[in-house]
Amino acid sequence: MLFRSALAVCIGSQFRGHLEGVGGNSIQTHRIVCANGQCLAQRGLDASVAIGDNCHGAPVGFFELEGLGEAKFIVGIDDKLNASRVQCCPIRRELNLGGGVRNVADTNQYLHVEPFYFVIRATKCHKNRAEVLIFADPNSYKAMRQIQFREAVAEAMSEEMRHDQNVILMGEEVAEYNGAYKASKGMLDEFGPKRVLDTPIAELGFAGIAVGAAMNGLRPIVEFMTFNFSMVAIDQIINNAAKMRQMSGGQFNIPIVFRGPTASAGQLAATHSQAFESWYANCPGLKVVVPSNPYDMKGLLKAAIRDEDPVIVMESEQMYGDKGEVPEEEYTIPLGVADIKRAGTDVTVVSFGKIIKVALQAAEELAEEGISLEVIDLRTVRPIDYDTVIESVKKTNRLVCLEEAWPLGSISTEITYMVQKRAFDYLDAPVIRLTTADTPAAYAPTLLEAFLPNKEQLIQAVKQVLYRD
């Protein structure tokens, strides 16, 4: 089996070209994938953990692997290229060398990578250099599971409740009914009615109870049947949960997760089809997370539950049945780190949440025309991983923002501002944003279709920034 591997030149350190294949695999240098350690650090890696002289500048990089079949690897870094002393984090991944693209954002987890990018992290370096060993490990493979989005939610909450008895779940129908979307199935049986609580239809009331519980040492998870109903509770979320740490002079942390579905879920009309991500992102003291697949959902929700500040986790009714690969092992994904769902060279597309599917569909179709999209999933809209976006725009020189929300005051608007501020000279075309229509969502299916951004509009926008329309 032949693999071609690329080394990344990073800030303060350079990966050497000495790569060893173990088990009969030959590995040779291919091309540089990323020349900026800073952009790598934004993908869930601690780029400053290296030990040694002059090594604190991110000895971190991507491998690009090309080949046929499947291989299992441990990637490690050693200061003397001694396989017996290799310092693996350990980072173990299954590499399926024959599909799309996914950047790995976390460490110490098994992950299915559809090729060709593979993240490594240095734990040791020697005199301003880090050298890489990559070798096959037949014992490193563990199968990934296909689970539903709702199962990822339930697993994340259940695992954290097993770890910490102070974690509780409350909301409408979360207990006896197993959740309106069956996202808390089995949790009442396992944890009992003192930790899984059905609440009245009174969002303001139980949001306030959660804030008080958090001030007294508990870590509540509050489920809204939809974030449209969180408008009833927004006084408690904004005026108490988000501000209590500052108003108390740091005496109170508010470790709360407010979670539930967001945006359109089909023909639910105006009051049940709203996206409030930018509303909550506007408020200091809150973090706002919008996962787009089961893997991200589980890792981000676990990180949110462990966070010491209030976190808004917005899901989608239309995604609860979606399936995706999730490791057996526990893992977290750091908040505030974007993910490049598909690498490309011609146009950067920034999105988040379920509408990321539209971006990936458009990318597939445009690839047949020779147009390469880089699709960035923000995953967290407060804080926003601006660095990943900026580095991508510096490469592609073009940007399209795709968002399922109203245009005024949108996340797309914020991204556009930051790109013009930090990467104006790299832009070869004006930024285009695609949002919902500037009107309440309609019930009629034809009007709802016209309300939402779609694949055809995105393809047109991409061709427009490429001056091919």
Task: Spot the catalytic one: 203, 277, 403, 404.
Answer: 203
Residue 29 phi, psi (nearest 5): -65, 135
The verdict on whether 56 is a catalytic residue reads no
Helices (H), 267-383: 277-281, 294-306, 356-367
Q: What is the distance between the alpha carbons of residues 124 and 127, in angstroms, rounded to a whole number? A: 10
Rounded to whole angstroms, what are the CA distances from 217 to 213, 233, 256, 308, 468?
7, 21, 11, 11, 58
Q: What is the distance between the alpha carbons of residues 4 and 28, in angstroms, rounded to a whole number? A: 5
Rounded to whole angstroms, what are the CA distances from 147 to 108, 110, 176?
20, 15, 23
Token pair in block for residue 276:
């409030």
**Counts for the chain of helices (H) and strands (E), in that order:** 13, 24
Please calculate the CA angle 291-164-257 and round it to the nearest 5 degrees.
35
Q: What is the distance between the alpha carbons of residues 282 and 171, in angstroms, rounded to a whole number? A: 25
Task: Spot the catalytic one: 172, 223, 272, 317.
Answer: 272
Q: What is the distance between the alpha carbons of residues 180 and 153, in angstroms, rounded to a whole number? A: 13
96: left (phi over 0), alpha (psi -120 to 50) or beta: beta
The verdict on whether 272 is a catalytic residue reads yes
The residues annotated with a catalytic role in the active site are 203, 272
